[in-house]
Amino acid sequence: MKGVHIGRESDFIKQVRKRSTEIRLLAKANGIEVMKQYIAPNSHITLTCEPDWNGFEFYFILDGALVCKDEKGRATRLESGDYIAVTHLMKDVYFRTETGVTLLYMSSEPVFHALSAEIQGLVALAKKVERKDSHTQEHCERIQSLSMLVGEKMKLPPARLELLIYAAFLHDIGKIGIPDDILNKKGPLTPEEWQEIVKHPTAGRAIIEKTFLRDAGPIIEQHHERYDGTGYPHGLKGDEILVEARIIAVVDAFDAMISDRPYRVAMTNEEAIAELKRCAGSQFDSGVVDVFNDVISTYPPGVSFSEYKCF
């Protein structure tokens, strides 16, 4: 039939897949795009305020449940049959999926290309880290998930929690410039090799600042700073270090300690927590260590935090 296109469940124009989301472009005409998007449980969604944007977006929830919190922390739960209409957005709005969520997403302006490029860019950055350092594949996902739980318990504002989630996952991307033989060396590093290692937070910031996640750059650069000022690359101390970076520092150290490395065997959770407490106030922010201990204590031994997909 001329002017009518009938599509089946398996029909789509283009598709983008990532671990926690899948987007299918179903139809497009006259600048309007219709997409179907699946988002995994425990993921964050941001509706971004763009003052100069005069378009219209519509999200219809086909399946699943998600929660929106307003500026006062009041929660609104949306589920199958509910919808979200967006126009003239004045502030960013944040959602978190309780279950897997399937959306029918319509936009008055082409957005699929941008979504595709952003998602694929994140995938590419993560895979570069995975190929470079064999210890960072699941490590990055665990750091992201645990950091999110700590940030939520510390009641970070939604915008800062979102930056923490991205920075935690990508905190080690600067390691892509470090030679493999240094990253995976079993013995002690020479002073020259150590100088290569300490470059990676600043290198990571430089990479991130070329993407739409530029505001996460300072967090990535600071995640090896120490609370007493003896860290790197800038020797920041106390509240000079962003709280998001202080969270990642604690979570990163814990995960490193409970993981097998070429130069030592893994500690138990209890041993790692004891070490964090011993270094609280010097290497780590005591308040963050306390909150992290509370978070860990609520989960049974052996839980895989990488199952919590944040974006």
**How many angstroms separate the CA atoms of 70 and 78, rounded?**
14
What H or E segment, with its residue span, contains residue 248?
Answer: helix 243-257
Mean per-residue pLDDT of the chain = 87
Q: What's the confidence (pLDDT) of residue 309?
A: 52
Strands 14-18 and 21-29, by their bridges, are antiparallel
- Which residues make up the CATH 1.10.3210.10 domain(s) of the chain? 117-307
- Which residues make up the CATH 2.60.120.10 domain(s) of the chain? 14-110
For 266-304, write each residue's pLDDT tens digit: 888 889 999 999 999 999 999 999 999 999 988 766 555
Percentage above 90 pLDDT, the chain = 47
Query: What fold, for 117-307?
Result: Hypothetical protein af1432 (1.10.3210)
Least confident of 37-41, 93-97, 136-140, 209-213: 136-140
Indicate whether 308 pLDDT > 60: no
Find out whether 249 and 225 touch, Cβ atoms under 8 Å: yes
What CATH number belongs to 14-110?
2.60.120.10
b/e for 212-238, b at 16 or more Cβ within 10 A?
Answer: ebeebbbbbbbbbbbbeeebbbeebee
Q: Which residue has the tokens 């470059």?
A: 199
Q: What's the confidence (pLDDT) of residue 290?
A: 97
SS (HEC) of 202-215: HHHHHHHCCCCCHH
